[in-house]
A and B are shown apart, each in its own frame.
Chain A
Amino acid sequence: MTDLRLYRPRVSTWWWTRKRTYFVFVMRELSSIFVAWFVVYLLLFVYAVGRGEAAYQRFLDWASSPWVTVLNVVALVFVLLHTVTWFNLTPQAMAVHVMGQKVPAWHIVAGQYTGLVVVSGFVFWLVTR
């Protein structure tokens, strides 16, 4: 009788650099950092607004400093990655039925982009009015 000597491969720490799809996945997940960053940023913004005109102005000055700008550009890229991937995955995550018929995936995706446009328009209107 022989004992089984199984070879158990180890997953390397860098597994996600080996394949494009894995890499995109990890980038997608890292968008979470920038989501958190922007929540913090917005909080600082609200805080400044609450503190008065001068604080608000100081905030805007700080926000236009190069490093904050760079951070926000990167954040925008990751946030867009989040939006696109999230929209693309939604049809997989839920099956929507309307009158017994399964709604085709592209309808759901298109619906979300419509939502994006409407929400963006509304926010834009609200703050620039």
Chain B
Amino acid sequence: MADSIRLRVSRYRPDTDSEPRWQEYDVPLRKEWTVLDGLNHVKNEVDTTLSFRWSCRMGICGSCGMNVDGEPKLTCGTFLSDYAPGPVMIEPLANFPVVRDLVVDLSDFMEKLPRVKPWIIREDDHRTVEPDVEYLQTPEELDAYKQFSMCINCMLCYAACPVYGLDPEFIGPAAVALAERYDLDSRDQGNRERLDVLIEHDGVWGCTFVGECTRVCPEHVDPASAIQRYKLKAAMETVKALLLPRGAR
């Protein structure tokens, strides 16, 4: 194994640049180094002006997503040695506006997330606990939504989804996965409210089942599945509403 690898890093400084440009850095190539370790090496030893987000370095906080050789990746879980001999292209997550260097603007998702009401909705909306009363949930009921509860909001799926790239109005894979997570939760009774949001034009219908969201998801959430299942559910509800007019449900 060579002892160093070249990183081609996309730099964009809004104060001075009108568009991103490439900058290259050579970093040590060690078998236990991730792309993030490489970037930190640059930040600490070579060029302190490089900006990127990271925190947990264990694949759970969701902040270090970047496009590595064109694929959205968590850089803390992507090893440099897999790209030897290099160079490795490191760009900000695709489909998002770039704030600076490798940092993208996530406000769009942060605005969309609350729209799908990702919280438990109950008809008897308790705001506080009744002591000692737990909502029972069997392991099977837990399994029904577990997968969709694993989303770390890393936004790799948005970076991979061409539909989102073309139409930023599309609510996007992770948001639907989270809606589905609560819909499938046996403790929740909010399906109707979420349906009203997702059945809209910019809800689930824009998705053409490209499936890239699922392929890049580091947590195996399978948002593509959530969306298609949601479409089926929305369609069934609509048929039901047609067959049983005046809210006979």
* A–B contact via C-beta, under 8 angstroms: yes
Give me the interface of A with B, judged by CB distance under 8 Å.
2, 4-9, 11, 15-16, 18-19, 21-22, 25, 29, 89, 92-95, 100, 102
Given A7-B20, A7-B97, A94-B228, the answer on whether A21 and B215 have CB atoms closer than 8 Å is yes
Task: Tell me the residues in window 11-30 of chain B with beta carbons closer than 8 Å to chain A beta carbons.
Answer: 12, 14-15, 17, 19-20
Q: How far is the CB of B110 from chain A (nearest CB, A)?
A: 15
Q: How far is the CB of A82 from chain B (nearest CB, A)?
A: 13
**Complex Cα–Cα for A89 and B229 (A):** 11
Contact of B166 among A5, A11, A93 (CB under 8 A): A11
Inter-chain contact B162/A7, CB cutoff 8 Å: no
Q: Chain B contacts of A11 at CB under 8 A?
A: 95, 162, 165-166
Given A6-B14, A11-B165, A15-B165, the answer on whether A21 and B229 have CB atoms closer than 8 Å is no
Given A19-B70, A22-B162, the answer on whether A92 and B98 have CB atoms closer than 8 Å is no
Inter-chain contact A4/B99, CB cutoff 8 Å: yes
Contact of B228 among A21, A29, A93, A102 (CB under 8 A): A93
Residue B209 at the chain A interface, CB threshold 8 Å: yes
Residue B140 at the chain A interface, CB threshold 8 Å: yes
**Complex Cα–Cα for A120 and B230 (A):** 31
B207-225, CB under 8 A of A: which get 1 and which 0?
A: 0111110110000001011
The total of chain B residues at the interface (CB under 8 A) is 32
Contact of B232 among A4, A8, A89, A94 (CB under 8 A): A94
Q: How far is the CB of A5 from chain B (nearest CB, A)?
A: 4
Residue B64 at the chain A interface, CB threshold 8 Å: no
Report, nearest first, the 6 A-B pairs whose CB atoms are least far apart. A93-B228, A6-B97, A5-B14, A92-B225, A7-B98, A11-B165
Inter-chain contact A93/B229, CB cutoff 8 Å: yes
**Complex Cα–Cα for A127 and B195 (A):** 45
Inter-chain contact B140/A100, CB cutoff 8 Å: yes
**Complex Cα–Cα for A4 and B103 (A):** 13
Inter-chain contact B165/A6, CB cutoff 8 Å: no
